[in-house]
Amino acid sequence: MRVVEVTAYGGPEVLRMARRPEPEAGDVPGRVRVRLRAAGVNQADLRIRAGRYPGHVGDLKPPFVLGTDFAGTLMDPAPGMPAGTRVAGFVPWFDELTGEGTYAEVLRAAPEWLAPIPDDVDYTVAASVPLASATAQQGLDRLALPEGSTLLVTGASGVVGRLAVQYAAAAGVRVVAVAHEGDESELKLLGAEHSIERGTPEDVVARVVAAVPERVDAVFDGAFHSAPALAAVKDGGAFIALAADRTPTAERNIRVETVRGRPDAARLKETLEKVAARELITRVADVMPLEEVAEAHRRAEAGHRPGRIILMI
């Protein structure tokens, strides 16, 4: 099968098309094969490829295959889902550390990663959802904000941030979203009470204080602003970081936690049904063939292009 290998740590040029044997049915007990049709390019993929996560990859050494988010069709039956079912999910790549990611034609998946894709949702949209929605939901679970409380979402134009805005607003939380230029009104349509322009963390804090003088109850830090964004939080509030190395030290009794998205098939199924019903809006920035993976990484690294870049396989 065709895969993309990280051949050495470095820039996008280290990504190479390669051939590996296609997995056989049942060759890893408890795993089912998924013929992949779409894979998401996540920011973590770029950092792993660049060798910026040495502490998180254990003994894994290149060549290995990147990729967490996927959508495709089941090749083997899984509980409640016959072969041929369209499914999406994500590989908990850092927990697995097998170096078998989704930039490949076939993936061996654990059934508990998989949710069926509703008919109205295509593979590219489905592949943009799994890791981002789990991270947004589980981050908000940790915050456990009561209705009427205030939440700052940085990176709200990003894939995780947009979902966090929508989930929080649906739970009655008053959201201040830090938006890309031109996204302010859309984020309000998605439920943000205030939509403020992005900038340095200090600029963002000043804009938050102008909008919510008493400061917010919590931050969901999708833009990795980290410590400077704590100034936007009330004493005794809460802060969710999305990476260990972007987790600030707690101050003023602010509860600081790091979330790492974990697969939750039941919730993913509900999320995909909401996407099908247009009750949740996700965003795909580009759809590119697997062979153009190096260009996909360059675009993702350049940023300023909100939405998930999807590789079609």
Ligand X SMILES: NC(=O)c1ccc[n+]([C@@H]2O[C@H](COP(=O)([O-])OP(=O)(O)OC[C@H]3O[C@@H](n4cnc5c(N)ncnc54)[C@H](OP(=O)(O)O)[C@@H]3O)[C@@H](O)[C@H]2O)c1
Q: Does 44 bind ligand X (CB under 6 A)?
A: yes
Contact stretch for ligand X (CB under 6 A) within 39-47, 107-115, 145-153, 232-240: 39-47
Tokens of 6: 């990280």
Task: For ligand X, give the closer residue by CB, 101 or 158.
Answer: 158
Identify the residue whose tokens are 């697997």. 290
Question: Cα Rg for the chain, rounded, in angstroms?
Answer: 19
Beta strands in 76-207 (DSSP E): 86-90, 106-109, 115-116, 150-154, 174-179, 194-197
Burial of 252 (0-12, 13-18, 19+ CB in 10 A): exposed
Q: Residue number with the shortest CB distance to ligand X?
A: 158
Binding mask 179-208 for ligand X (x = CB under 6 A): -x-----------------x----------
Give min distance, CB of 42 to ligand X, in A. Answer: 6
User: 286: burial class by Cβ within 10 Å (0-12, 13-18, 19+)?
Assistant: middle
Binding mask 224-243 for ligand X (x = CB under 6 A): x-----------------xx
> According to the binding rule CB under 6 A, does residue 131 interact with ligand X?
yes
Determine which helix (DSSP H) or strand (DSSP E) holds 38, and give its type and residue range.
Answer: strand 32-41
Q: What beta strand segments (E) does 128-193 contain?
A: 150-154, 174-179
Q: Could you tell me the smallest distance in angstroms from the CB atom of residue 252 to ligand X?
A: 23
Considering beta carbons, is residue 78 or 223 the nearer one to ligand X?
223
What's the min distance (Å) between Cβ of 44 and ligand X? 5
**Residues 139-168 close enough to bind ligand X by CB under 6 A:** 155, 157-161
C-alpha span between 95 and 124 (Å, rounded): 25
Q: By the criterion CB under 6 A, which residues form the site for ligand X?
A: 42-44, 131-132, 135, 155, 157-161, 180, 198, 222-224, 242-243, 259-261, 303-304, 306
